Structure 1
């Protein structure tokens, strides 16, 4: 089925939705997951703010967030096509490199769906089950006629913010260091959002092997703070 065509919602309404959906108020459990960062810290791969910036930069350029952005964009375009959404979700889940990554994607996605149905447009979406967060958020954005690049930028910013918050809890950096990293990574977030807005499913692919290994090793980490 062809991607839906729609008139974009006005900027203020879109901004309010994105701020709500991607805020700590939403029960997506971002505070519970580190995407393998906790293991990277304990293994000595990420020990300071410079390491953290490089770790997050890699996630955006050729890691899980690259794939999430491409899948988010595909889901937004196909928000009114349930069969296509299911295929996109299946692709996303097939890319999960560990059991914990799978849990992170689906638990956050399911929690997001339960909350986002309070918005009438999103309530009309036939979300697949299980549904990864990137697919759920993309489909909700499409149903609400939010501009693709803006939605992608907000989603990626939220993902990086969650990682920065995890790093603060892991004592890798303080709040000032985290804010410096957020400022430094803005060009990377914008670049990925603009790339993903023009992408198709052939652009899925990653090469962040250390991140995948750390995610797998986290399953056997003793005394862990996060679920992934």
Structure 2
């Protein structure tokens, strides 16, 4: 049955708890460090132009066509749809934007930024600590499965392009490489800045999440593009916050998102692995 018809004939009971991962406060999007952001504002000088080869490599890394399985995860969004809280474009867009600022900008993006620098410095101990942090802060079995599976798949893809992959990963991370740390390795092999690497990571995530919303709500392609356009405007602020985060400012605390992920593990009808 078409979405419009279904909505017209269904009585929907509003949930008593906001279905989004958390409620986003105005200062959570502040880029000047005055709210709850990490650290203080950084250098505002315009970045140097990115060499064409490095730009194309980042686009490649962020592409949904990369064979790492990102398209197969909704990160709890599908459970939000099943529960009844995410029932249209507006709520799906708010859900993903909140997740960008409350989860990605405070956890995975700071790890990507710090791991790019660590890979370039050859600091194996630092890389290992960052990888351990990701493993230890995943709040559900599905979230842990996702980061490990995508990390392994990215390493396998990198083997086709770099001869020293076994040496780089062997003694440092063994088998449990996480996706943010593996992505940081790939970005560190380009001439891209840390900021550009984080932008690519965030946009690749945004494309996958938008695709998950289009399929699970469901939504039309035009709605998906509007959502992606909104995220493209909000990603730079999320990246700036991530670049300011120190080790003791990283966090992974999104309890409602974790609840949705746990519910999804036993959800009867589903399209996605998370």
TM-score relative to the length of structure 1: 0.89
**What is the CA-CA distance between 1:64 and the residue it aligns to?**
4.2
When the two structures are aligned, how many residues end up with a matched partner?
221
Alignment partners' CA distance in 2, 1:137 and 1:16: 15
Q: 1:172 to 1:65 in 2, by over 3 A?
A: farther
Give the equivalent residue in structure 2 for 1:185.
231
Q: Deviations over 1:112-144 (max 9, x none)?
A: 111023333873633623111111101221233
Give the equivalent residue in structure 2 for 1:90.
132
Alignment partners' CA distance in 2, 1:203 and 1:197: 11
**What is the CA-CA distance between 1:209 and the residue it aligns to?**
2.2
Alignment partners' CA distance in 2, 1:135 and 1:9: 25
- Picking from 21, 36, 56, the partner of 2:76 is 36
Alignment partners' CA distance in 2, 1:121 and 1:54: 42
Give the equivalent residue in structure 2 for 1:100.
142
SS of corresponding position for 2:201: helix
Alignment partners' CA distance in 2, 1:183 and 1:122: 38
Alignment partners' CA distance in 1, 2:221 and 2:164: 34
Contiguous gaps of at least 5 residues in structure 2: 1-47
Q: 1:9 to 1:116 in 2, by over 3 A?
A: farther
**What is the CA-CA distance between 1:194 and the residue it aligns to?**
1.8
**What is the CA-CA distance between 1:172 and the residue it aligns to?**
3.2
**What is the CA-CA distance between 1:160 and the residue it aligns to?**
1.0
The answer to whether the 8 Å contact 1:122/1:144 transfers is: no
SS of corresponding position for 1:78: helix
The answer to whether the 8 Å contact 1:58/1:208 transfers is: no
Alignment partners' CA distance in 1, 2:55 and 2:153: 21
The answer to whether the 8 Å contact 1:106/1:130 transfers is: yes
SS of corresponding position for 1:178: helix
Q: CA RMSD in A?
A: 2.0
Query: In the alignment, does 2:244 pair up with 1:201?
Result: no
**What is the CA-CA distance between 1:158 and the residue it aligns to?**
0.7
- 1:143-222 correspondence to structure 2 within 5 Å: 143-222=189-268
**What is the CA-CA distance between 1:32 and the residue it aligns to?**
1.1
The answer to whether the 8 Å contact 1:37/1:214 transfers is: yes
**What is the CA-CA distance between 1:108 and the residue it aligns to?**
0.4
**What is the CA-CA distance between 1:223 and the residue it aligns to?**
2.0
Give the equivalent residue in structure 2 for 1:55.
95
Q: Deviations over 1:52-83 (max 9, x none)?
A: 11111111111245311011111111112222
The answer to whether the 8 Å contact 2:67/2:153 transfers is: yes
SS of corresponding position for 1:17: helix
- Picking from 104, 125, 128, the partner of 2:168 is 125
Q: 1:119 to 1:200 in 2, by over 3 A?
A: farther
Alignment partners' CA distance in 1, 2:54 and 2:245: 22
Give the equivalent residue in structure 2 for 1:81.
123
